[in-house]
Structure 1
Amino acid sequence: MTAATASTSKQRQAGRLPAEVTSFVGRRHEVAEVKRLLCASRAVTLTGPGGVGKTRLALRVAVDLARDFRGGVWFVELAGVESPDMLAQIVAEALEIRDYSASAPIDVLVQHLRDKQALVVLDNCEHLVYECAALAETLLRAAPALRVLATSREPLGFAGEQTLPVPTLELPGSDHLPAESLARFDAVRLFTERARAVLPSFEVTEENRDVVARICRRLDGLPLAIELATVRLRALSVQQLLDRLDDRFRLLTAGSRAVLPRQRTLRALIDWSYALCSEQEQLMWARVSVFAGGLDLDGAEAVCAGDGIAREDVLDLVSGLVDKSILLREEHGSRVRYRLLEIIRQYGVEKLAERGQVEMVQGRHRDYYKQMAAQAREQLFGPGQVAWFTRLRLEHANLHTVLEHCFAHPDEAVTGLTMASDLLFHWITGYYLGEGRQWLDRGLAACTRPDESRARALWSNGWLAVIQADLPAATAMLAESKAIGERLGLDSVLAYVALYNGMVAMFEGDTESAIAFYEEALERHRATGDPVGTASALIRLSLAYSFRGDSETAISLGDECLAVADAHGEGWHKAYMMMALGVDVWRQGDLRRATELETHSLRFNRTVDDPLGVGVNLEVLAWIAATEGRHERTARLLGILDTVWQAIGAPLSGYGHLAHYHDECVALTRKTLGSSGFEAAFEEGARLSYDEALAYALQGDEHVDEAITRNGFAARDRAQPRSGAGAPAPLTRREMEIARLVAKGMTSKEIAADLVISQRTVESHIEHILSKLGFHSRTQIAVWVGEQVRTVEEDGGQ
């Protein structure tokens, strides 16, 4: 097993590959060649100028090969990474590795990938050529089954690298080819398809064929150039488009008939796109270029409005840039976001500099995300909690960029330190704990004045160090924070220092000292009116009293915490308190109530994708199963847990005092099942994907579905639905259950919520159902289910 596995992605066929906003056209030869090179070599770099389609080609290959890499196919966007020191951390985050240890990011990556059959796509490496080469070489040397596919304007230049210059799209060599013959040229196919997106009735005809061919040749077959040019067909005919292209290029070359270098061809198209924008659209284009990884309408209004752009005009300007294919529109749940292709963003950065507005707009960008971080911290304890966690993850690239900017400018370092502290729960609940520690370390090194901001950053970083089991660093930071807090009379600082000192004491086995620290923290948090600190102290104090055997006090404290959480409409701390109560209720022997508490907690922790909370929930469910004498289930849960704790890198991180319960559970289960029986069941659990594992933990043995069966143990109550002919239908019990819900008209999202499984799992089941029954639509499934019901009724309910 590895020391750091992406728990949310175990055994997925693909990682988080970006969605293709437009269809992929042509490139069959190039796709085949990249696949061939990846079979022959473990590292391939696609090279070529901007706009030639390196990223799209890499993505298409990644999608096609997804099923061939059991360890996942992962896409890492590097365009926004400015600091080489952050490279390994950014790659680890892209691979969704949650590591709660204090290990260096490169070591975490090595351990994670060591036994993985995975493909990692490193996109836009040209500004980090040396660093990307060193990283790729290190990972490939440590992980024999790893493949790396990179895109860069130049080779990375390390041993074993194969390079493939990405050509422009195939062009017709001459005019007067029949219209149907032009369709075999990729450049013409792309032009036609993108033209149809603008004019649905567009066709290459005998009348316009020569003009289309000339346009594609004029654009050198550059995919991005073709995409930008076809947008003009909203207002121009193809002949007018060609005429204006000739005008643009004649102006650019001052009448030279020499063939334009491809970089200049694309530049001419981007210049033309810019020229065809209104003055305000040009200004908007320049200003949105400060965003990294995308933006939403709120961000556009806050950062881009003013000094030439009225706030009420921002929506229309954004819509205009979307229509012109400058901004790409993407949906993320209920939020719409926009992003710029990197070459378009860089053009905007140039134009912003020409206007002399870089400092002004970057300042607005900084202030917007500084305010967002502060607002998230203020609203953390309330009904909007999950929405805030989700939003901060979507904005992570912008948060990263702002922090990088702050720490690169000494006069803004305090802003960066404050912001890094405000984002404490973002670091903990996402994939970013290691990055959060780095930002806080960097800020503390830059901001040495013993004031409140440093004191708060010290206890924040101290908590991250406790989670990473880096107790010496945690103790030192908490001591300094306490000294500042005492000198300045900062009760809130002293309350948090006491809370985390209690965690250190509990980790070291000193329960009495921990209780004293927790009680001090609780008293101070109550006095300052801090519900977050109050709830945290109640959770830890309840656990400590439970550990000491004082169940009455533990439950009383737990009830108080639940009341505080309910009063504020808060869910995350409530979930942890339910987890803590579940431990004590289990110790008292009320297994049914303990199971209810842990499963409710687990469902919430799953919603916010909190692996630490999920891990502790699974621990207690395993202990409950062992107490019930369900030893095979216990062993499977222990197998699942082994994967979760390996993912985090620190078993029971922050809850080490519970480790003896785990050890006792393992010993009892192994003794009961015998070594071979234990190992077999343990491996069955370890082989489950994350979604399958949580479904098993939440639903129990009676709801084992086909996916779990496929991973190692037989379902005990497989359904035998009857077909119209009276023979057993080819569906499993879970598939039949989902088919019935489809027949009720429920969406995949509604089915997922009803069955407590992921929407992706539901859609996978529906695909299997369609395939098995030879159907093509949900309507056919509904009709088939109705036939099954009628058949059963005709058979007398048998």
Structure 2
Amino acid sequence: MTASTYGGRPNGGLPAEVTSFVGRRHEVAEVKQLLSASRAVTLTGTGGVGKTRLAVRVGQDVRRAFRDGVWLVELAELDGPAMLAEAVAEALEIRDHTGATTMGVLTCHLRDKQALLILDNCEHMIAECAALSETLLRAAPDLRVLATSRQAMGISGEQAVPVAPLPLPDLQVPLEKLIRQDAVRLFAERARAVLPSFTVSEDNREVVTRIVRLLDGLPLAIELAAVRLRALSVEQLLDRLDDRFRLLTGGSRAVLPRHQTLRALIDWSYALCSQGERLLWERASVFAGGLDLEAAEAVCGEDGIDPLDVMDLVIGLVDKSVLIREDHPGGVRYRMLETLRQYGRERLAGSGCEPDLQRRHRTYYRELAARARAELFGPGQVAWFARLRREHANLRAALDSWLNTPGEARAALSMSGDLLYHWITSYYLAEGRGWLEQALAADTEPSRVRAGALWAGSWLAIIQADIPAATALLGESRRLGEELEDEPVLAYVALFRGMVAMCEGRTEAAIELYRDALARHRRTGDPVGIALSLIRLTLAHSFLGDSSAAIAAGEECLAECEASGEGWHRAYTMMALGVQVWRQGDLERAAELEKQSLTFNRAVGDPLGAGVNIEVLAWIAASQGRHQRAARLLGVLETMWSCAGAPLSGFGHLAQYHDDCERAMREVLGEPAFETAVRRGARLPLEEALSYALEEDKPERPAKEEERTPLTRREKEIAELVAQGMTNKEIAASLVIAQRTAEGHIEHILTKLGFSSRAQIAVWVGERARADGHD
């Protein structure tokens, strides 16, 4: 007898959906497109993310394209691969009486069939599912396989599609938009199934949003949570989610037992891991906000895991959807859903190894902060800023661990001071000051570390315009510096005392303090201190009207920064020079300096630096008669300073220019027009505001002009002055730069153009002008 099929279902064997399918429009479209081009597609992702529902929905949508049906093979209930082929045959409703092997029957049956086979939950016999799929696909040219698994099968031609949790909702959006976000929709629909009167309203929107965010947007967890509304209010549900593994039970009895509780589901994932992968899962749970490979090797290696094996174990956990791979400009990072991290943390605590892993973690991040501080002034600076920002959650966890470990407060003091530039160049200003205050309160013994933390805290206080606190911190730091004869501490104390003097209107005293700081920093060879002192001297001399001294200090600082490939202090130097050049009336040059500085501050995400740049650009616009632009920029600043929590970022003496600008714009535009322009600026999203400040909508220069000259804009300007017969001294005076800077530019021009004389530069300028006339 021959094999035959029974059932007569032309649409194949797919279960009916008993609950609504929410969201996933993009994923459904992507999988359908891939199935049209590839014969094997695997949906990968962590347990409970909705792979099965997605596969079934795709199968329903495409069933008309498969003449011989779409068939679901549920594999989760199989204990092992022994009955794999039989399970497929049963799902296809094949009855065989020939005595042939089941695989033989399957290949014979499917050879001429145009069908889609959905293999659901392949992870516990991934190798066998891969072998079966390859055999069937080779035998049946019109067969397609759609699999779901924690990891891809790894067969030829397979397309793997990672299925992520539902996007986390944004609490800030209007209610009508919030209720359309997939995670909230899923919660609301499942809640109405047990509580028909439930709706997401203005009264409960925050609680609902926090619930689905705490559950990582994981569909199974959201569904299990919604079921608890039979007995709990949404507020009670939120309060109990810290014990989510005990709370989230009692799902549908019709589904597999491991899908009825969140813990059972994750136990299943844990059981699929090797011993080394389980250890790494547990140890990686000490990280907050993700980790990179270097951190995994340093913290998780040893004691059962060879550091050389960490990479392979990470790959294994990524394959099994325990770790999520994320690409960043600085390299690849790995993230664990909070639900999986809590599970791993419970396992780690139960093993008794948690204290040791916490020690390794905090030690690693203290050393990371120290390395970032040591490499602050140089070409690696921007990469360090970005890296520390990515590691912020881990830095916070490490500081908390140091502070809560008896006898380790000094480590927290050292680490919080080393992170000074992280606090300043991000939105963590207030948080950084808080960490320093906690550490200073916990470790009161006199030490160089304490003295350094005191002046670091004073800078944060100055930026926040808390001058009394800054003065007190500097007083203690100075006393400790003198007792310990610590020259670096005394140098920074002088620098920040100068900043306090500027804020108090004592400009001459500030200049003396800055000069003292500069001399001390030069003796200790501290490039950071030298740059900061020169920047502040530039601003102070400018404020007094001493333009030559201001320009000299600024040009010297630029030279120091450029020689080291340094960016952040260079950007602030350009800002300070921009203020001086604006005061001298060279508005175009001043705007150019501020835009260059703003471009850098925007790239590194420094809100305080960007805010000062936009301040100066507003004053420049007012001086240019561009009154609407000036008023709009003042509106942008209202938003920026509100977010940063630091008006004028510690450059309080510049507030006079801001007030003058605002007063003038009110008079010129009139109150209604001024307020309208300010509101328009304040409503701009951050990126649009920065783009507006940089005037990026203005047409760029033709590319052919840039291609035919290797000179920078500044060098072309100087070349034209050379052609006019000006001496180096006259060029320096005309451009308000130091003579040695002008000489350096001319040397660069000669080198770039391959010339040996100023006369050749003049001829080149003339030829270029004639060429421009013919374009």
CA contact (8 A) 2:191 2:198 kept: no
Change (3 A) 1:60 1:310: closer
Query: What corresponds to 1:40 in structure 2?
Result: 201
Corresponding letter in the other structure for 1:467: I
CA contact (8 A) 1:295 1:339 kept: yes
Query: What corresponds to 2:392 in structure 1?
Result: 396
1:233-272 correspondence to structure 2 within 5 Å: 265-272=261-268
Corresponding letter in the other structure for 2:204: A
* Secondary structure in 2 matching 1:40: coil
**Matches of 1:616 and 1:32 in 2, distance apart?**
54
Residue in structure 1 matching 2:478, options 478, 482, 487: 482
**Matches of 1:377 and 1:594 in 2, distance apart?**
32
1:667 pairs with 2:663: yes
**Matches of 2:426 and 2:199 in 1, distance apart?**
32
1:656 pairs with 2:652: yes
TM-score normalized by structure 2? Answer: 0.60
**Matches of 1:11 and 1:259 in 2, distance apart?**
36
Quote the offset at 1:547 in angstroms.
Answer: 0.5
Residue in structure 1 matching 2:576, options 567, 576, 580: 580
Residue in structure 2 matching 1:299, options 295, 306, 309: 295
Residue in structure 2 matching 1:280, options 246, 270, 276: 276
Quote the offset at 1:683 in angstroms.
Answer: 2.4
Query: What corresponds to 1:308 in structure 2?
Result: 304
CA contact (8 A) 1:47 1:54 kept: no
CA contact (8 A) 1:465 1:473 kept: yes
Size of the alignment, in residue pairs? 511
* Secondary structure in 2 matching 1:330: strand
CA contact (8 A) 2:521 2:527 kept: yes
* Secondary structure in 2 matching 1:410: coil
Query: What corresponds to 1:461 in structure 2?
Result: 457
Change (3 A) 1:453 1:343: same
CA contact (8 A) 1:46 1:152 kept: no
1:356 pairs with 2:352: yes
Corresponding letter in the other structure for 2:374: E
* Secondary structure in 1 matching 2:305: coil
Cα displacement string for residues 185-237 of structure 1 (whole angstroms, at most 9, x for unaligned residues): xxxxxxxxxxxxxxxxxxxxxxxxxxxxxxxxxxxxxxxxxxxxxxxxxxxxx
Corresponding letter in the other structure for 2:686: Y
Residue in structure 2 matching 1:681, options 658, 677, 687: 677
CA contact (8 A) 2:187 2:226 kept: no
Quote the offset at 1:29 in angstroms.
Answer: 5.0
Change (3 A) 1:275 1:629: closer
**Matches of 2:325 and 2:195 in 1, distance apart?**
29
CA contact (8 A) 1:545 1:553 kept: yes
1:711-750 correspondence to structure 2 within 5 Å: none
Quote the offset at 1:674 in angstroms.
Answer: 2.2
Query: What corresponds to 1:515 in structure 2?
Result: 511
**Matches of 2:235 and 2:305 in 1, distance apart?**
45
Query: What corresponds to 2:119 in structure 1?
Result: none
**Matches of 2:424 and 2:408 in 1, distance apart?**
24
Corresponding letter in the other structure for 1:530: D
- Say which one has the larger Rg: 2
Query: What corresponds to 1:375 in structure 2?
Result: 371
Change (3 A) 1:630 1:645: same
Change (3 A) 1:559 1:453: same
**Matches of 1:639 and 1:156 in 2, distance apart?**
47
1:143-292 correspondence to structure 2 within 5 Å: 162-163=234-235, 265-292=261-288
More displaced, 549-558 or 631-640?
631-640
**Matches of 1:521 and 1:354 in 2, distance apart?**
54
Query: What corresponds to 2:26 in structure 1?
Result: none
Change (3 A) 1:11 1:317: closer
Quote the offset at 1:600 in angstroms.
Answer: 0.3
Quote the offset at 1:340 in angstroms.
Answer: 2.2
Query: What corresponds to 1:387 in structure 2?
Result: 383
Residue in structure 2 matching 1:451, options 423, 432, 447: 447
Query: What corresponds to 2:595 in structure 1?
Result: 599
Quote the offset at 1:57 in angstroms.
Answer: 6.7
**Matches of 1:501 and 1:686 in 2, distance apart?**
34
Change (3 A) 1:700 1:359: closer
1:531-550 correspondence to structure 2 within 5 Å: 531-550=527-546
More displaced, 689-698 or 325-334?
325-334
Corresponding letter in the other structure for 2:203: R
**Matches of 2:186 and 2:227 in 1, distance apart?**
25
Quote the offset at 1:462 in angstroms.
Answer: 0.9
1:617 pairs with 2:613: yes
1:634 pairs with 2:636: no
**Matches of 2:212 and 2:496 in 1, distance apart?**
51
Q: Which 5+ residue runs of structure 2 have no aligned equivalent? A: 1-169, 239-252, 701-775
* Secondary structure in 2 matching 1:346: helix
1:696-775 correspondence to structure 2 within 5 Å: 696-699=692-695
* Secondary structure in 2 matching 1:338: strand
* Secondary structure in 2 matching 1:56: coil
**Matches of 2:573 and 2:257 in 1, distance apart?**
64
Identity %: 57
Quote the offset at 1:258 in angstroms.
Answer: 14
Query: What corresponds to 1:185 in structure 2?
Result: none
Change (3 A) 1:394 1:552: same
1:83-94 correspondence to structure 2 within 5 Å: none
Query: What corresponds to 1:88 in structure 2?
Result: none
Change (3 A) 1:285 1:60: closer
**Matches of 2:189 and 2:402 in 1, distance apart?**
45
**Matches of 2:646 and 2:628 in 1, distance apart?**
25
Query: What corresponds to 1:321 in structure 2?
Result: 317
Quote the offset at 1:317 in angstroms.
Answer: 0.4
CA contact (8 A) 1:46 1:165 kept: no
Query: What corresponds to 2:151 in structure 1?
Result: none
Change (3 A) 1:29 1:655: same
Change (3 A) 1:610 1:52: closer
1:56 pairs with 2:217: yes
Change (3 A) 1:596 1:292: same
**Matches of 1:603 and 1:33 in 2, distance apart?**
54
Quote the offset at 1:455 in angstroms.
Answer: 0.4
CA contact (8 A) 2:228 2:237 kept: no
Residue in structure 2 matching 1:562, options 553, 558, 564: 558
CA contact (8 A) 1:45 1:163 kept: no
* Secondary structure in 1 matching 2:326: strand
Cα displacement string for residues 552-586 of structure 1 (whole angstroms, at most 9, x for unaligned residues): 01100001100111111111110000000001011
CA contact (8 A) 2:409 2:442 kept: yes
**Matches of 1:56 and 1:10 in 2, distance apart?**
14
CA contact (8 A) 1:498 1:521 kept: yes
CA contact (8 A) 1:417 1:443 kept: yes
Quote the offset at 1:410 in angstroms.
Answer: 2.3
Cα displacement string for residues 694-752 of structure 1 (whole angstroms, at most 9, x for unaligned residues): 21221178579xxxxxxxxxxxxxxxxxxxxxxxxxxxxxxxxxxxxxxxxxxxxxxxx
Corresponding letter in the other structure for 1:449: E
* Secondary structure in 2 matching 1:652: helix
Corresponding letter in the other structure for 2:348: L
Quote the offset at 1:360 in angstroms.
Answer: 2.1
Quote the offset at 1:521 in angstroms.
Answer: 0.7
CA contact (8 A) 2:648 2:655 kept: yes
Change (3 A) 1:564 1:285: same
Quote the offset at 1:353 in angstroms.
Answer: 3.3
Quote the offset at 1:51 in angstroms.
Answer: 11
Quote the offset at 1:40 in angstroms.
Answer: 3.2
CA contact (8 A) 2:224 2:261 kept: no
CA contact (8 A) 1:51 1:266 kept: no
Corresponding letter in the other structure for 1:448: T
Quote the offset at 1:162 in angstroms.
Answer: 4.7
